[in-house]
């Protein structure tokens, strides 16, 4: 499985620049997830890699082969579409064998491969059915089977799970990961669902407005977001953002609710980011970790099962926290709650540029400017 190199990719539709200066290298056998809000250009980028659209500038290499101007059929890729894109008039077998036949693979080999892949995906009993006789999940399996059977050098997935219900989506996610482990195929996977991105990707590329915001492992992206956009987009519930000011190594939120010591951060307007799961009960942290203690009022409790999302009000500011269910005993909406924060888990962002300010070991390693 070769690596994929994108060099300075640009895509314009008329005067509208959809992708600008995309440089990306996707390692051999790696599962890369392109994630970003709707309209950020992730599907366009995938279509450019597939050859369904042509780049306005830049180069696409699969291995050492320049495929920028090649037709999709000359690129040796397989793609799974959001709406499955099965051939409605063909049976499942014909759908899966179409690509092989188009490439002149001999009939015996076609049959062997289709049956092998169908068994792998558990769809061998569906082979004679037409797509309209299948459920959404089955159609998705056929679409994946159609891609896998070709044994291409690159797999492209365009939001393949977004049309499935929540339960099926989780199941298919696991299956796709197992499949990837089995095939070790270089894969590019597009999704707008950050949870899907976090759980599936070896590497995540966060896009916004046609520009790469950050690339890295799911851990990098989650724990060390380089800017406000990535911080706000990745994580559910999303990160709490508090406007405030740093002066003389001391941060104070605008409402005065939170005041903490800072180290080596420039004075000025900043935004403090706190992940909901970094808001704790006093018993969770050691006394040394209690950098900041707040007395809040509980506005809303959303029980998710083992955990709950609670919306807290502190001096008119809303904070969302994720706490374990066992802490819910004795508290209710409208009652008061004391919470503590570990300042080591705070994220500071420049209020003007949105860039991350506090540098840590990770930032040093990545060469990220403070």
Residues lying near another protein in the complex (CB under 8 A) are found at: 50-52, 71-73, 77-79, 81, 83-90, 98-99, 102-103, 146, 150
Q: How far is the CB of 100 from another protein (least distance, A)?
A: 9
Looking at beta carbons only, is 85 or 300 nearer to another protein?
85
Alpha carbon distances (Å) from 203 to 73, 121, 131, 332: 27, 25, 33, 40
Looking at beta carbons only, is 114 or 308 nearer to another protein?
114
Q: How far is the CB of 339 from another protein (least distance, A)?
A: 49
Looking at beta carbons only, is 80 or 308 nearer to another protein?
80
Cα angle: 363, vertex 348, 265; to 5 degrees: 80
Buried b (16+ CB within 10 A) or exposed e, 238-251: ebbebebebeeeeb
Q: How far is the CB of 76 from another protein (least distance, A)?
A: 8
Neighbours of 210 (CB within 10 A): 23
Q: How far is the CB of 87 from another protein (least distance, A)?
A: 5
Looking at beta carbons only, is 64 or 71 nearer to another protein?
71
Looking at beta carbons only, is 103 or 111 nearer to another protein?
103
Nearest partner of 309 among 318, 263, 67, judged by Cα = 318
Q: How far is the CB of 73 from another protein (least distance, A)?
A: 4
Looking at beta carbons only, is 4 or 314 nearer to another protein?
4
Q: How far is the CB of 86 from another protein (least distance, A)?
A: 7
- State how far Cα 13 lies from the chain centre: 25
């Amino acid at each position: 499985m070769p690596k994929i190199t994108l060099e300075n990719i640009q895509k314009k539709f008329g005067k509208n620049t959809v992708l600008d200066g995309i440089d990306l290298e996707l390692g051999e056998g790696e599962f890369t997830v392109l994630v970003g809000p709707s309209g950020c250009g992730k599907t366009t980028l995938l279509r450019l890699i597939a050859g369904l659209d042509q780049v306005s500038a830049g180069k696409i290499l699969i291995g050492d082969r320049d495929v920028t101007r090649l037709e999709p059929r000359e690129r040796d890729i397989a793609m799974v579409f959001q709406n499955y894109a099965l051939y409605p008039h063909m049976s499942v077998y014909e759908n899966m064998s179409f690509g092989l036949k188009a490439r002149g693979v001999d009939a015996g080999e076609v049959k062997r491969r289709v049956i092998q892949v169908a068994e792998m995906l558990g769809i061998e009993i569906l082979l004679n059915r037409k797509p309209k006789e299948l459920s959404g999940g089955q159609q998705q399996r056929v679409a994946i089977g159609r891609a896998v059977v070709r044994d291409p050098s690159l797999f492209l997935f365009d939001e393949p799970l977004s049309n499935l219900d929540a339960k099926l989506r989780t199941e298919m996610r696991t299956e796709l990961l197992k499949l990837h482990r089995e095939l070790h195929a270089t894969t590019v996977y597009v999704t707008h669902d950050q949870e899907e991105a976090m759980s599936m990707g070896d590497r995540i590329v966060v896009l916004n407005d046609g520009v790469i915001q950050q690339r890295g492992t799911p851990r990098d992206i989650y724990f060390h977001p380089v800017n406000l956009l990535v911080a706000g987009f990745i994580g559910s519930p999303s990160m709490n953002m508090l406007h405030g000011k740093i002066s003389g190594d001391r941060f104070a939120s605008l409402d005065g609710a939170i005041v903490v010591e800072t180290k080596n951060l420039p004075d000025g307007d900043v935004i403090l980011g706190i992940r909901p799961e970094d808001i704790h009960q006093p018993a969770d942290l050691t006394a040394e970790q209690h950098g900041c203690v707040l007395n809040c009022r509980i506005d809303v409790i959303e029980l998710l099962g083992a955990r709950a999302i609670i919306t807290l009000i502190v001096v008119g500011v809303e904070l969302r926290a994720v706490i374990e269910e066992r802490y819910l005993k004795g508290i209710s909406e409208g009652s008061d709650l004391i919470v503590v924060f570990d300042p080591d888990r705070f994220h500071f962002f420049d209020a003007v540029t949105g860039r991350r300010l506090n540098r840590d070991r990770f930032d040093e390693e990545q060469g990220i400017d403070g």
